[in-house]
Amino acid sequence: MKKFFMFLAAAAVMAITANTASAQEAAAPEQTATEVAAPQSLADLTAAAPEVPLTQALKTKFIEGGAGFMSLIIICLIIGLALAIERILYLTFSKTNTKALLAKVEKALADGGIEAAKNVCRDTRGPVASIYYQGLLRYDQGIDVVEKTIVSYGSVQMSEMENGLSWISLFIAIAPSLGFLGTVIGMIEAFDAIQRAGDISPNVVAGGMKVALITTVGGLIVAMILQVFYNYILAKIESITIDMEDSSISLIDVLSKYEAKK
């Protein structure tokens, strides 16, 4: 009797072992097929995707980010670029060859006096020539008055060169703020979708998260573009300011020599 039960137990173990082995062998081809069918890397996935033109991709992202906030961000970019280009053109035309101007003024003083030097400054474009002209206008009041006039009018010219920079800095600050505001609204939409669906699956929150990320990226890109132009404008203003200061000192020296020769 014991031998019978031992035989049954051995048969059962052999049957279970055979079933397990056959199941593993059946699952192995399916797993292998799945591994072969699956892409080997992210490059395979991206290579399979159709190529989309850049303009079409930008339009798509603009629409996906929400027309309201993305329109405000684009408006910040357009107005900021317009102001930056206007400042760059103004500063480019304000640039003066100060050495050549000083040489002309010195020659005019030697040949025709103060009035001839005034005519040279009046016919020359730029803040340096304007400062020279204002100083020469007050030459009859003394060198000290001329120096004070140059310093005061130099501050006026600095203010004119910096005109509009506050608006550019405003748009640099507003653009990412609008992006972050769109991010917050996108997150709210995502949580509203979770509440309505009663589920936290990726498909439910993907829409709101996409809006949040696109608006943030748009705001940061606009801010970075305007920041580059802003720093370039500051560099040009600094260069012109250095020329103004150096040339003003040179003008005082020239007038002092002219006064000593009289």
Encode pLDDT of 53-103 as tens digits: 645 555 455 455 556 667 888 899 999 999 999 999 999 988 888 888 888
**Structure-token pair, residue 238:** 């600094």
More confident residue, 33 or 233: 233
Degrees (nearest 5) of the Cα angle 231, 232, 236? 115
Q: Hey, is 175 helix, strand or coil?
A: helix
For 129-160, the pLDDT digits (tens) are 889 888 888 888 888 888 888 888 888 888 88
Rounded to 5°, angle at Cα 70 from 199 and 209? 20
Provide the whole-model pTM.
Answer: 0.69
Cα 158 from Cα 43, distance rounded (Å): 54
pLDDT at position 91 is 92
Question: Is the pLDDT higher at 178 or at 9?
Answer: 178
Q: What is the pLDDT of residue 224?
A: 94
pLDDT score for 252: 87
Q: Does position 178 have pLDDT exceeding 80, yes or no?
A: yes
Q: How far apart are CA 102 and CA 247, in angstroms?
A: 7
pLDDT at 249: 87
- Hey, where are the domains in the chain? 165-239
Under 8 Å between Cβ of 102 and 250: yes
- The DSSP output letter for 140 is G
